[in-house]
Structure 1
Amino acid sequence: RFLFLIWSLISTVEPYTEFKRVAEENVTLPCHHRLGLLEQGSLDIEWLLHVSETVQKAVITYSGGHVYDDLNEDQKGRVSFTSNFRAGDASLQIISLQSSDAGKYICKVKNAGQYEWARITLKVIEKPSKPKCWLEGELLEGKDLSLQCRSASGTAPISYRWQRLSEDEERAEHLPPTSRVNISNPGQVLLKNLTQMTTGLYQCIATNEAGQENCVVQVTVQQAQNIGMIAGAVCGVVVGLCLLLLVVRLTIRRKEKKRYEEEEAPNEIREDAEAPKAHLVKPSSSSSGSRSSRSGSSSTRSTANSASRSQRTLSTEATPHLTPPQYSQKEPEGREPEPKKVDYANLMKMGATLVMVPAQSRAFQTV
């Protein structure tokens, strides 16, 4: 019994251990003690995470008969004691590992003035993220093409490897003989002097100690003459469409112009329109000579006023050489009266308006 007490009072230090786990997996960090046989009410257990030399965070503790597992916000709900920690197994379990869980862990057990502890280093490694594959260069015969591949995240070092896939994607094939791998950047492969044989599927595999991910890219090499034919066909179609649009536009404008001319034609006044013709009146007898002389002047004025009203809408120029209307004078019986000239100034005073009279209508006389 004396030897047992001595053995139980001696502090024991477990050897320094290291664990390496993949992200999203679970891990159990061991911590065993023999201080549970001492006073049950004074047992304290504490797990600490050393983030750096000066910063440490409490992960989980047992004190005063209570467990406190919500001390670290980053690990809240993911840490717990694995078994009967009072009896001697104070191991720590962490589920759904994250990269922030990596670091140095210390387990401290205290009871009745005695201490036991364990030191464990945890490394969390992440698989490469799904890499991105892309092409750089022209997919034409005789040209060079570069295959690029890169993962955005993952624990270094990450290695890259390119391979060609069969048509059914069931087996891997070697790269074309003209391909060259960039030693300083294995994610880059140069395909030189492209041919139709270079066409196919190419796969990039990103690998580290945690696992691997891959991506696939299609390479389709085209003939240069086919490119020229396609470009010529496209240009021809574009030019044809432009010509068609031009013809349609010209046709529409021609129709609009024709419709406009048809609408404006009734409003135009022809300059060669004939003036209204006056009716000729022959003298009935010689006894009316004196009346004809008096009525001639009034008839002329009436005719001039009527012609003025009917021609006000016409826009014509006055002709200075216009011959004034002729009036008849009283003559002896048996002879026709000679034309008598009317004073032009008197007609203007009476409000008469000069009117353009066509040549064929100047010969008539008013009696």
Structure 2
Amino acid sequence: MSAFSILFLAFCSAWMSQAQTEFKRVAEANVTLPCYHRLYLLEPKSLDIEWLLKDSKDESKVVINYAGGKVYNNLIEEQKGRVSFASNLLAGDASLKISLLQSSDAGLYTCKVKNAGQYEWTYITLKVLERPSKPKCWKEGEPSEGKEISLQCNSVSGTTPIIYKWDRIDEEGKAGLMPPLTHINFSNPAQILMKNLTRTSTGLYQCTASNEAGQESCIVEVTVQYAQNFGVVAGAVCGALGVPSLVFLAVWLTIKRKEKKKYEEEETPNEIREDAEAPKARLVKPGSSSSGSRSSHSGSSSTRSTANSASRSQQTLSTEATPHVTPMQRSQAERENREMEPKKINHTNLINTEAIPTMLPAQSRAFQTV
């Protein structure tokens, strides 16, 4: 090998080492991987260009090839119709164009140019970035005053690492300050903890998932329920049920009190009337015209009146002395007294009756004298 060839290869190696670069592109975008060479100056008909891909499985595949004046593409099923030479490869530009990038397009690309026994290589690493998928937001816990809840967010796909950020959104859609006692779960940055909730914690909260390819967000609404509201509602319900019950109870007690008072007022006059009926049981028989008989009956009536008065006085004293006697006991005692009074009256009448026959002859004689 001549000294010229050695110098040329050294120059190409140095140039290729400088050509090793890395490209990052977002999925669905287009990319052009550069590959420039000088071998087109040698033998144009013997020029051979080949692009190789070593994927994540460390497998090498031919992406596109130029040989014998023809281009051969569509060699990889996943890249059919999406790969081509970007420029005039016969003029020293063998760059590769890939349209509508997919995650399967990522890997190490090698551009190999061969002509007249000489080689040039270009190495390019392509990373296809996928923006995070639309995240899902949700809350866990009881959103009440003094309680604790957690807000969580998750994006199921996207190029790692995915960064999560929570913000509070005001009425104008701008990010505001988070409530006090809000902490990030460092073991799971997609989760935040909100402790000791207050009414000021009510609002909209936005989670943003981002990476090198872009970002997506979701919003969750937090409504803090006030503990005092439950007390007021419970009090109102109890009041609505309790007030009518209290009114009904008061009315019922009033009616019962009036009925008891009326019963006591009616019971006392009845006892007096029952005691007063005893003298009426002994009346003077019609047809008795003698004055002696009237005197005897008057005396008898006086005696009965005195006995009845004494009996009533005794009953009144006994009633006053025993204020705790029930109405039934008083009625029984009155009946016993009434049974005893006629016996006394009969005894008196018997005495008067014995006196009457002694007076009859005198009266007869008087009438006979007239």
Q: Shift of residue 89 of structure 1?
A: 0.3
Q: Distance in 1 between matches of 2:188 and 2:32?
A: 38
Q: Distance in 1 between matches of 2:22 and 2:102?
A: 17
What does residue 52 of structure 2 align with? 48
What does residue 216 of structure 2 align with? 213
Q: Shift of residue 226 of structure 1?
A: 4.7
Alignment partner of 2:200: what SS?
Answer: helix
Q: Shift of residue 227 of structure 1?
A: 5.6
Q: Shift of residue 224 of structure 1?
A: 3.9
The residue type equivalent to 2:28 in the other structure is E
Alignment partner of 1:197: what SS?
Answer: helix
What does residue 83 of structure 1 align with? 87
What does residue 162 of structure 1 align with? 166
Structure 2, gaps ≥5 residues long:
238-370
The one of 128, 132, 137 equivalent to 2:132 is: 128
Q: Shift of residue 180 of structure 1?
A: 1.6
Superimposed CA distance per residue, residues 266-325 of structure 1 (whole angstroms, 9 cap, x where no aligned partner):
xxxxxxxxxxxxxxxxxxxxxxxxxxxxxxxxxxxxxxxxxxxxxxxxxxxxxxxxxxxx
Structure 1, gaps ≥5 residues long:
234-367
Which structure has more helix as a fraction of its residues? 2
What does residue 12 of structure 1 align with? 12
Contact 1:8 1:34 in 2 (8 A): no
What does residue 28 of structure 2 align with? 24
Q: 1:9 to 1:143 in 2, by over 3 A?
A: closer
Q: 1:87 to 1:4 in 2, by over 3 A?
A: farther
What does residue 326 of structure 1 align with? none
The residue type equivalent to 1:199 in the other structure is T
Superimposed CA distance per residue, residues 18-77 of structure 1 (whole angstroms, 9 cap, x where no aligned partner):
212222222111111112222222211100001258521110111122111100111111
Q: 1:195 to 1:54 in 2, by over 3 A?
A: closer
Alignment partner of 2:206: what SS?
Answer: strand
RMSD: 2.8
Alignment partner of 1:86: what SS?
Answer: helix
Alignment partner of 1:157: what SS?
Answer: coil
Counterpart check, 1:59 vs 2:63: yes
Contact 1:167 1:200 in 2 (8 A): no
Runs of 4+ with deviation above 3 angstroms: 2-11, 224-230
Return the TM-score normalized by structure 2. Answer: 0.57
The one of 19, 35, 38 equivalent to 2:39 is: 35
Q: Shift of residue 218 of structure 1?
A: 0.7
The residue type equivalent to 1:69 in the other structure is N
Superimposed CA distance per residue, residues 137-172 of structure 1 (whole angstroms, 9 cap, x where no aligned partner):
112222211100111111111111111111231x21
What does residue 283 of structure 1 align with? none
Return the TM-score normalized by structure 1. Answer: 0.58
What does residue 197 of structure 1 align with? 200
Q: Distance in 1 between matches of 2:199 and 2:59?
A: 61
The one of 168, 175, 178 equivalent to 2:178 is: 175
Identity %: 63
Q: 1:184 to 1:6 in 2, by over 3 A?
A: closer
The residue type equivalent to 2:66 in the other structure is Y
